[in-house]
Amino acid sequence: MNEKERMLAGLMYDATDKELEKERFAAEELYFKFNNLPPSKNEEKLEILKQLFGKIGKNSYIRSTLYCDYGYNIEIGDNFYANHNLTILDCAKVKFGDNVFIAPNCGFYCAGHPIDAQERNTLVEYAKPITVGNNVWIGADVCVMPGVTIGDNTVIGAGSVITRDIPANVVAAGAPCRVIREITEADKSDYFNVLETLYDGGK
């Protein structure tokens, strides 16, 4: 089993492997081009994303700047929107469903490192996949950690650090992120209730 196969299998692998370095460099070349094109070149930017990602759905839009490790492990559904400074460390699969909204400065981090310093200094690491369901809204400055799944229709408050799975149909926030309440029919007509819940911590 080579290092790429170990990475994709969730095993410890050598991140300095030459083939992996080559693939990261190729991704960096693509997102550098993407980040430096003007907004008026939207069709060219989309073509770069098609080359970079494993999948990108229709009517999807990502604002500069974008950063990723490999790109080919990223799958994006339809009607996806990401604001400035999206970072995806896709050492494992990162899947986004349809109608996902991501605010500025969010990160999705599949990579993890050993706790033991001596082992960590050998530059081995591991990766766990991240899955974001359909109709998810993620607020600004959110960190999504390795192995996390976020369920359909869920809202994540700004500044959250998500270290464990978040179920569908809830409002969740905090560091670490926790479920504040379920989303109900009342939210269809009470938009500001959602905002108050996010900003007062559910009190």
The CATH topology of domain 3-200 is UDP N-Acetylglucosamine Acyltransferase; domain 1 (2.160.10)
Q: Is residue 113 annotated as part of the catalytic site, yes or no?
A: yes
Gyration radius of the chain's alpha carbons:
18
Q: Token pair of 93, please?
A: 């699969």
pLDDT tens, residue by residue, 170-185: 999 999 999 999 998 8
Task: Calculate what percentage of the chain has a pLDDT beyond 90.
Answer: 90
Q: Token pair of 15, please?
A: 């991140």
Catalytic residue among 93, 113, 128, 178: 113
State the pLDDT at residue 185: 84
Q: Where are the domains of the chain?
A: 3-200
pLDDT tens, residue by residue, 140-177: 999 999 999 999 999 999 999 999 999 999 999 999 99
State the pLDDT at residue 176: 97
- Give the three-class secondary structure for 96: strand
Question: Rounded to an integer, what distance in angstroms lies between the CA atom of residue 32 and that of residue 67?
Answer: 8
